Amino acid sequence: MDTMNTMKKFLKPNLVVTIILLIPPLTFLGLIGLLFGTLPANKRMKKHLASLEQRGLLAQAAAEMSGPNVKQLMKGNLLLTDHFIYCKGMGIVLPYEDAVWAYKHRQSNSLLFIPIIVQDSLYLATTTEKVRQVAVMGKDKHDEIKEAILTIYSKNQNCLIGYNNDTIAAYRQWKKQMKAASD
């Protein structure tokens, strides 16, 4: 019997050693994920900043970002100023006139038909970007998304607002016109 206990102790996996052995690969995988998760946003940010610089708007965008008329929405991930939209997580900085379509999207993840997570997101299509999720908030932040959409529309009445068959068709038509104009 004593031999059996000795064998069990010997063969029993040591939890501490297992954790210590798993930390380096998990850390490495986490860093790789972080790196590849931020690269697209950095690329978009450089593209938007180059576009603003080419149009002579970069200094104005920088000044407005730290000015007194900044609305910080969605935990600071979305900044709205007098002339610009700043989407921190996506690396997007653009003037309001570049916004083509803005809408709120509600995503609900459920388990056995019971909603577990409900998130409201702000989606934005621009003249240089396809439709992108620019800010994610919980379901209790509906008012902030509505305020952001109304602010965008007040600064650019040509921007499509909302998600319905009419706005989808209008956005597709706009894309076709832009493609025909570039050809």
Where do the structural domains in the chain lie, given as residue ranges? 44-182
Pick the CATH number of 44-182 from 2.30.29, 3.40.630, 1.10.3470, 3.30.450: 2.30.29
Which phi and psi angles does 91 have, rounded to 5°? 70, 35
Query: So what's the pLDDT on residue 39?
Result: 56
| pLDDT for residue 2 | 61
Give yes or no for residue 61 having a pLDDT over 90. no
Tell me the whole-structure pTM to 2 decimals: 0.70
**Residue 107, token pair as written in the block:** 């995503």
Question: If you average pLDDT over residues 18-24, what whole number do you get?
Answer: 66
89-107 per-position pLDDT tens digit: 777 888 999 999 999 888 7
Confidence at residue 162, expressed as pLDDT on a 0 to 100 scale: 92
Tokens of 123: 């989606």
Mean pLDDT of 130-143: 72
* Mean pLDDT value across residues 35-61: 76
pLDDT at 152: 93
pLDDT average, residue stretch 131-158: 82
> In sequence order, what E strands does the chain have?
71-73, 78-80, 84-87, 92-95, 99-111, 114-126, 132-138, 160-161
Long-range contacts of 70-77 (CB under 8 A, 24+ apart): 71/147, 71/151, 73/135, 73/144, 73/145, 73/147, 73/148, 74/122, 74/135, 74/136, 74/137, 74/141, 74/144, 74/145, 74/148, 75/137, 77/134, 77/135, 77/136
Beta bridge partners of 102: 124, 161
Tell me the C-alpha distance between 164 and 132, whole Å.
Answer: 17
Q: Please, which residues bridge with residue 121 across strands?
A: 105, 136
Rg (CA), the chain: 24
Dist CA 122 CA 137 (whole Å): 8
| CB-based contact 73:137 (threshold 8 Å) | no
User: Of the ranges 62-66, 73-77, 149-153, which one carries the lowest mean pLDDT score?
Assistant: 73-77
